[in-house]
Each structure stands twice: as structure tokens, then as C-alpha cells.
Structure 1
Amino acid sequence: MKCVRRLQPAVAPDGAAVVVVLSFSIKEILPFDEVAK
């Protein structure tokens, strides 16, 4: 958990990292084709 806390401050300004994490979560729920759309 400590690692996650350290990453959060660095990830927040980027925003791109957040999108990547979300995309991974979405991939688990929806097929890749739906995400591409």
C-alpha cells in the first residue's frame, strides 16, 4: 500500500497514468473492441 501512496502524488499531475489504470479496469469488464470505440 505504501508504494501506491507514493505513486499517487506523481500520477495525479500526469492524468495519463490514471487513464491507463482505468483502461485496464475497463478491459476486465468489457471486451477490447468496445473500449476501442
Structure 2
Amino acid sequence: MTDAGAGFIAHIDEYPGCENEFRDWRSMVASDIGGEWGG
């Protein structure tokens, strides 16, 4: 990946499995971060 922004989006567009893993990770940490993270 070239960066964590647009490069990350391009990466998950190319590799759908990574998008699924990211969604799983995000759902697991969302409650830990609460209102501190808008992602």
C-alpha cells in the first residue's frame, strides 16, 4: 500500500478479502473507541 488513506482504499478495492477483514476488525474495535473515532 502506498499510504493508509487513498492507498488503502485502492488496496481493498483490488483485494475484496482485505475489505472483509477490515470490516470485521472495525466492528470489533468500534465499541472500544466509542465517539473518539469517526471511521
**Greater relative contact order (Cα 8 A, min sep 6): structure 1 or 2?**
1
- Structure with more of its chain in helix, by fraction: 1
- TM-score normalised by length of structure 2: 0.47
